Amino acid sequence: MSHVSSHAPHGQTPLHTVQVLGGGSAGSSAHVRSLAAGLAARGVRVTVCAPSEAADAYDLTGTGARHVHVPRSSDPGSVAALRLACADADLVHAHGLHAALRAALALTGRRVPLVVTWHTRAHAEGARARVLRLLERRVAKAAAVVLGTSSDLVDRARSRGARDARLAPVTLPAPRAAAVAAEDAEGLRHKALAELGSFGRPLIVTVGTLERQRGYDVLLDAARAWRHLDPLPLLVIAGEGPERGALQRRIENEGLPVRLVGRRDDVPEMLAAADLVVLPTRWESRSVLAQEALHARVPLVATAVGGIPELVGDAAALVPYGDAHALASAVSRLLADPQLRERLKDKGTAQAATWPTEDETVTQVLSVYDELTRPPALYP
């Protein structure tokens, strides 16, 4: 491979990386946008292969990158489009398991380094779990380097046969929560409280796709357990997904103090209005919501799973997954103790300051690229 330079000094060809994004969770899509912008600013040529809807939603072309539409599916047409886009790539970086599989197929027979970032892990049971394990093994072995966004993902990649797996925490780009200026916060808080119907009562917020692994069934159990509180807290769940119907039926049948408000684009305002944020998930790596809560100085109650303890340290109340009693108790304790809430806010600000910046994240990734594309040392 010819020597390429990320900064492209005179007479050298700029490094060309292809970023491959599948369906893309909010975290991985935002990371690819941040990475594309940071790499382009450093003189790297960037092509982003992603479905057009993801490119539009995250303004991927606004980063200075070239966009190539590649559908989510792993059909031959999708792989062929990816192979063409990678024709003159010096390095390919795939984000997520399915994007990585497509990239590995597209690079078959070519000596182009493949970097894979595992942002999250899929959930499957029975026969599907076996297929998932095979898929993870195939991807782990195809990659020159696997980057895991949390330590347990790095361990998982190693257990699946990765030659080189490293921790690469992904930062939350330009926190949505920080977008709410301090002088506007009180006005936005009142507006959000009025809209959500939470004046004079505590507001508890959670955000995420309405899927089984998010733990919302356990959260509703907890909401039933804190019905004795006075004033009665209102739990607001923002997001859409396949579990909406089942959750709505439970809320109505059991008379729970919960509102499903659908997908929202005013998350900063909701966080500014919240007394607590809850994250009842079965597993998560570097939760976007947890990062936003700490940045916004909102006390967080979260499950001690995946990368969450590593992410939040002692800046959140952590409870076991699936334990509605522990979740309800943690919420009740925080609502009853303003001083404890203030201590968590301060700890959250301190913890958030330890997370890598966007610039540090790009620098780490670029150092991996340089390592993989640098020519071997010549000895006499």
Per residue in 148-202, pLDDT tens? 999 999 999 999 999 999 999 988 765 544 445 555 666 766 777 777 776 789 9
- Give domain status of residue 50, yes or no: yes
CATH of the domain at 57: 3.40.50.2000
How high does pLDDT run on average in the chain?
Answer: 89
Residue 234 lies in a domain: yes
312 part of a folded domain:
yes
Q: What is the per-residue pLDDT for 3?
A: 44
pLDDT, one tens digit per residue, over 48-81 is 999 988 888 888 889 999 999 998 776 788 899 9
Q: Indicate if 164 and 198 belong to the same structural domain.
A: no
Same domain, 281 and 306: yes
Q: What is the pLDDT of residue 22?
A: 81
Q: For residue 8, is it within any domain?
A: no
| Residue 10: pLDDT band with limits 50, 70, 90 | very low
* Same domain (yes/no): 56, 119: yes
* Residue-range definition of the domain harbouring residue 54: 16-171+357-373
- Is 120 a domain residue? yes
Percent pLDDT > 90 in the chain is 73
Q: Please tell me which residue, 170 or 294, carries the higher pLDDT value.
A: 294
Asked if 329 and 271 sit in the same domain, the reply is yes
Q: Which residues contact 75 (CB under 8 A, 6 or more apart)?
A: none
Parallel/antiparallel/unpaired status of strands 165-167 and 66-69:
unpaired
pLDDT tens digits, 128-139: 999 999 999 999
Rounded to whole angstroms, how far apart are CA atoms 99 and 24? 9
Q: Does residue 92 sit in the same domain as residue 146?
A: yes
